[in-house]
Amino acid sequence: MNILILDPASPEFNRGSFCYLPYLAFSALKHQGHKVTIMENFIVERMDEIKTSEYDLILCSVWSYPQVDAAMIIQRFCPSEVKFFGYRGLLKEFHLVQWDGMKPENLNTLVKEGIENYFYDFENFRNILLSDCDMHFAKYPGQVYPLFTSYGCPKDCGFCPTSKNCLRKVVWADEAKMSEVLKYAAQRGMTNIHFTDEDFLLDTERARRILQSAKKASSEFKFIAMSSSFSLKKYLEKYGSDEFLDQIKIVEVGFETGDEELLAEMHKKNDFTSIKETFHNDIFWLNLTFFPGETIKSLRASGRFLEKYGSKPEDLYSRVAGNSTPGGLGQFFQIYPDTIPRKEIEGKGLIISDRPMRLIPSFVPYSLLNCNIHCVRRIEKNEEFYYNFYKVKEPDLNAFEAGMTFYDYAQKWENPVDGYVSLAISAKLGVIE
């Protein structure tokens, strides 16, 4: 078959999991013997470029809210029928016709072939490296290449759409094929690798075998990998920071928040006991802001943890300095279909946008909006970085009045969203309480 894949443009440049599906589909279908073309950053003005008579199947990916409007136009006005894939909750919500090839029952075939083969197809892609192009820590220079060894997640964190989209199942790439991919990478000097698995260390023994095969292929490999705190702790307890784990220079850990009550609300557990003492390389802590139940107290708990265990902005590449740092806000909570029901969310906070993006607030919980503000101290010179990073003014600490809430103060700003961000930074840093 002659197949066209459309990947509509999206400002969501921080990819992961199902955001990679256009590329995985391309490689899987190509591997099956089909002739495949992908149009990345597709905009509807290019619809006339599509010679529909040339294609037996036209597919369109939808993995972020900002792509929805383009997708609806494509479904309505593309001369040929289009089938959609990506985040199934979005397809259902906006009545986009789902492609059977990417339904959950077919993931183990199509996605498995995709993750085993897409590394060989980088020359066909423009944007595959967009979110995984560096090692996050500035001391590691050079191009970084994303590589899945598994896809999906078995957990059920309340804020995360990844496990919902794969029905809490994990698709495992064949270990022998991963060994061949690593040999291929080593031969081409592609030795900075970002493992894009949701939890690379989920299977301790499998992860160790993959790292051993990497060691045989090249001693130059430097890996960054995502892991839960439990998987990292389990590996460390069994093997310690041995020569193979030392290949992993950086582990991304889903920290989310330092507040135990809020963690419980997220249906998430963490266990950081002894990790920092056992793992001697860098940890990049991923955190989430404005989840329902967030308060000034919970923001400060996250800030305290990152003051102790996180990074300084100058140690990171500038684009990721909003994560793993004391005043960084990480990603903002989004309302994804199939996670927390929208009706439930509507009763828990202020919905700012119907086209949410992870790096801009689209929801602020009442639990935070109703917090009273008290100024604790002045903003220090080195803390000005965070306000500049988010391009918001520092709060006027002299403007706080007795009984003023988070919401009251933000409404005095020309753009209240900027006020929410500025106050959230101040809460993490301990400027306000």
- For 251-271, write each residue's pLDDT tens digit: 999 999 999 999 999 988 888
Q: Work out the average pLDDT over 304-309.
A: 94
Instruction: Please determine, for residue 130, whether its predicted confidence score (pLDDT) is greater than 70.
Output: no
More confident residue, 156 or 92: 92
Instruction: Please determine, for residue 122, whether its predicted confidence score (pLDDT) is greater than 80.
Output: yes
pLDDT at 207: 96
Please state which of the ranges 220-224, 239-243, 280-284, 345-349 shows the lowest mean pLDDT.
239-243
**pLDDT band for position 129 (50/70/90)?**
low
Which of helix, strand or coil describes residue 343?
helix
pLDDT digits (tens, 9 = 90+) for 15-24: 788 899 999 9
Please state which of the ranges 27-36, 102-111, 413-422 shows the lowest mean pLDDT.
102-111
Please state which of the ranges 42-46, 239-243, 310-314, 316-320 shows the lowest mean pLDDT.
239-243
Q: Is the pTM of this model over 0.85?
A: yes
More confident residue, 419 or 162: 419
pLDDT at 165: 85
The ranges of the chain annotated as CATH 3.40.50.280 are 2-103
Instruction: Please determine, for residue 283, whether its predicted confidence score (pLDDT) is greater than 80.
Output: yes
Return the bridge partners of 218, or none.
none
> Does domain 108-324 fall into CATH 3.80.30.20?
yes
Q: Which residues are CB-contacts of 130 (< 8 A; sequence separation ≥ 6)?
A: 13, 15
Answer for the pair 102, 13: CB distance below 8 angstroms, yes or no: no
**CATH number for the domain formed by residue range(s) 2-103:** 3.40.50.280
Q: Work out the average pLDDT over 72-77.
A: 95
The string of DSSP codes covering 348-400 is: TEEE--SS-BTTB--EEEHHHHTPBP-B-SPPPGGGHHHHHHTT-PPP-GGG-
Which of helix, strand or coil describes residue 103?
coil
Q: What percent of the chain has pLDDT over 90?
A: 74
For the chain, counts of helices (H) and of strands (E): 16, 14
Residue 63 has phi, psi (to 5 degrees) of -125, 5
The ranges of the chain annotated as CATH 3.80.30.20 are 108-324
> What is the amino acid identity at position 421?
V
Q: In what order do the strands lie in the sheet with 35-42?
A: 35-42, 2-8, 57-62, 82-86
DSSP category for residue 64: S
